[in-house]
Amino acid sequence: MDKQVDMKRVQELVSDLREPRAAVYYADLLLCAVLGWGLFVHALGHWGWPLKLAYFTGATLLLYRSLAFIHEIFHQQAMKGFRFTWHALSGVPLLIPFLLYLPIHQGHHNKLTYGTKDDGEYDQFKGRCGVASAKLFALNLALPLALWVRFAILTPLAVVLPPIREKMIPEFVHMALRMPFRAPEIKESARAEAMLVEWWCAAFAWGLVALVLLGHGLVVAYWAVLVIAIATLNTIRALGGTHLYVEEAQGRGARGQLLDSINVDSNSPLTLLLCPVGLRFHALHHVAPYLPYHALPTAHRRLMAQLPAGSEYHQVTVGSIAEGIGRLRQATAD
């Protein structure tokens, strides 16, 4: 039996699922963000440490899910109102706006650059999986300060010092896995919105300074730990539920991206928490990147049932994040 995936057949099987349901997006985001920030405020209260930790953990998981919509925003860019709402509730208060992600992700789905040195969301783990993974976790510790410097310092300075806008920001300040990496320019049509959001972030960053000066430094410390915790969860997901990170000189089309990616076929609470907003179906996403997140479970079930047993699609599907990390280690071993 032929195990090679028929891409045309895949498209046929999921073609009716491509319409995003705005009500689902808004309800999910609003519930996660409102509850998440509510729990964050409760974590600042005068409780015992067990209860404070419970509140903070809940806030971290909910706000991690709300932030994960940054990926959906890229693939559903027609939903401008949702993007505005997401920025207000997640992107700006976490200092991780869409403008840090937009120029990076567009190269990640390009068949000419995927998995090459020109793919900012990719890196060479072959022969260095342990070191590369440790670097990602270490960088998370510096993320709150890096984000603050990006918006509180570099945004105003870029107005009077053009080299900061032209060189420093695109080369060092973005959401690339690969460092250093020069991000491409944001397209002209998106620049006005990006600049507006950038100044919102600058205002928020200086608001953090105001909190410290007013004697509320603990709030800022909790915010910094929150950002680190969210980034750490995302790193675990990236290692066990995205790609095999074996860089090649040439890009890869849909089939090549499928074979280099992972689906985590599990409904366990741990998987759902670590891979929110459809991110557990990463291999499927690279075959049909236009599908909204709420359609991915249905699409995956169809493909598992209707593609030939043991097909390449079945082969890239694992049962847990831990199994996905095992696949990564195996693929990148010397």
Q: What digits encode the pLDDT tens for the residues 238-267?
A: 999 999 999 999 999 999 999 999 999 999
The phi and psi torsions of 262 (rounded to 5 degrees) equal -135, 140
Question: Is the per-residue pLDDT at 200 higher than 50?
Answer: yes
Q: What is the DSSP string of 108-120?
A: HT-TTTTTSTT-T
- Are 1 and 310 contacting, i.e. CB atoms less than 8 angstroms apart? yes
236 or 167: which leads in pLDDT? 236
Which residues lie across from 264 on neighbouring strands?
Answer: 318
Residue 12 lies in a domain: yes
11 or 173: which leads in pLDDT? 11
- Are 154 and 137 contacting, i.e. CB atoms less than 8 angstroms apart? no
Mean pLDDT along residues 142-164: 94
Residue 286 lies in a domain: yes
Percent share of the chain, pLDDT over 90: 86
31 or 7: which leads in pLDDT? 31
Percent share of the chain, pLDDT over 70: 99
Q: Which residues contact 240 (CB under 8 A, 6 or more apart)?
A: 262, 264, 274, 320, 321, 322, 323, 324, 325, 328
Q: Within its chain, how far is the Cα of 115 from the centroid?
A: 17
Q: What digits encode the pLDDT tens for the residues 51-102?
A: 999 999 999 999 999 999 999 999 999 999 999 999 999 999 999 999 999 9
Confidence of residue 328 (pLDDT cuts 50, 70, 90): very high
What is the structure's pLDDT at 334? 74
Mean pLDDT along residues 182-191: 86
Question: Is the per-residue pLDDT at 314 higher than 60?
Answer: yes
- Are 113 and 251 contacting, i.e. CB atoms less than 8 angstroms apart? yes
Residue 2 lies in a domain: no
Q: Which residues contact 38 (CB under 8 A, 6 or more apart)?
A: 59
What is the structure's pLDDT at 246? 96
The CA–CA distances, whole Å, from 3 to 209, 254, 316, 323 equal 57, 16, 12, 22
Residue 17 lies in a domain: yes
Q: Within its chain, how far is the Cα of 261 from the centroid?
A: 15
Residue 289 lies in a domain: yes
What is the dihedral sign for C-alpha 226, 231, 236, 240?
positive
Q: What digits encode the pLDDT tens for the residues 204-251?
A: 999 999 999 999 999 999 999 999 999 999 999 999 999 999 999 999
Confidence of residue 170 (pLDDT cuts 50, 70, 90): confident
Residue 117 lies in a domain: no
Question: Is the per-residue pLDDT at 268 higher than 80?
Answer: yes
Confidence of residue 2 (pLDDT cuts 50, 70, 90): low
Residue 105 lies in a domain: no
Residue 120 lies in a domain: no
Instruction: Quote the radius of gyration of the chain (alpha carbons, Å).
Output: 20
Question: Is the per-residue pLDDT at 333 higher than 70?
Answer: yes
Q: How far apart are CA 25 and CA 81, in angstroms?
A: 11
The total number of structural domains that make up the chain = 1
Mean pLDDT along residues 287-314: 96
Q: How far apart are CA 246 and CA 122, in angstroms?
A: 9
- How many CA atoms within 13 Å lie on the side-chain side of 324? 31
DSSP H helices, 112-248, are: 129-148, 155-160, 162-163, 169-172, 188-213, 217-241
Q: What digits encode the pLDDT tens for the residues 48-65?
A: 999 999 999 999 999 999
What is the structure's pLDDT at 192? 93
What is the structure's pLDDT at 187? 85
Could you list the residue range(s) of the whole structural domain that residue 303 is in?
7-92+129-332
Q: How far apart are CA 33 and CA 106, in angstroms?
A: 26
Mean pLDDT along residues 268-295: 97
What's the chain's average pLDDT? 94
Mean pLDDT along residues 267-284: 97
Question: Is the per-residue pLDDT at 183 higher than 90?
Answer: no
Question: Is the per-residue pLDDT at 188 higher than 90?
Answer: no
Confidence of residue 168 (pLDDT cuts 50, 70, 90): confident
